[in-house]
Amino acid sequence: MRKKDSKRLESIRTAHESIREGSSTRMEDYLEVISELVELKGYATTLDISRYLNVSAPSVTKMLQRLDDGGYLEYEKYRGINLTQKGNQIAGTIRQKHGILLEFFEILGIGSDTANRDAEGLEHHINPKTIKQLRKFITFLKSNPKIIDNFKNI
């Protein structure tokens, strides 16, 4: 095997080791949707969450109980769902990542539907250091609009 191949295999292995479990990503999706619903409507219901995530109501109930047990939200069956400080912090971080990714994709000229789908997938897996650098890069680009114009004219 060539050295280049082994480096690539090593990077794949490392990436897979660092990717969080799917359930963690799913939990973040729930927290993000709950946060958005509360901001939009003032409350979130099991039915709303079920509709937005396209999952069954019993699945939502099960996840809400897990999130409650983890200290991410306060959940009482048939009553309101409120995020705790811990839940709000994670939801806020995910929303911030999503916004930064969308802003970057907009600069690249990617359509909003594609940009939203891509941001939704990446926001759960991108390293905080990468997001920080991406934010700095976006700020740099916006302070130098000629660079953006030159890019768009390629």
Q: How far apart are CA 102 and CA 114, in angstroms?
A: 10
| Of 59, 8, 69, nearest in space to 29 by CA | 59
As a whole-number percent, the residues of the chain with pLDDT over 90 amount to: 69
Model pLDDT, residue 12? 66
Q: How far apart are CA 69 and CA 127, in angstroms?
A: 26
31 has pLDDT over 60? yes
pTM value is: 0.77
Model pLDDT, residue 17? 58
Tokens of residue 122, six digits: 């990446």
Average pLDDT, integer, range 23-43: 89
Q: How far apart are CA 74 and CA 107, in angstroms?
A: 39
21 has pLDDT over 50? no
**pLDDT digit string (tens) for 77-117?**
777 898 999 999 999 999 999 999 999 999 999 999 999 99
64 has pLDDT over 80? yes
| Of 45, 7, 54, nearest in space to 26 by CA | 54
| 3-state class (DSSP) for residue 75 | strand
Model pLDDT, residue 59? 95
15 has pLDDT over 70? no
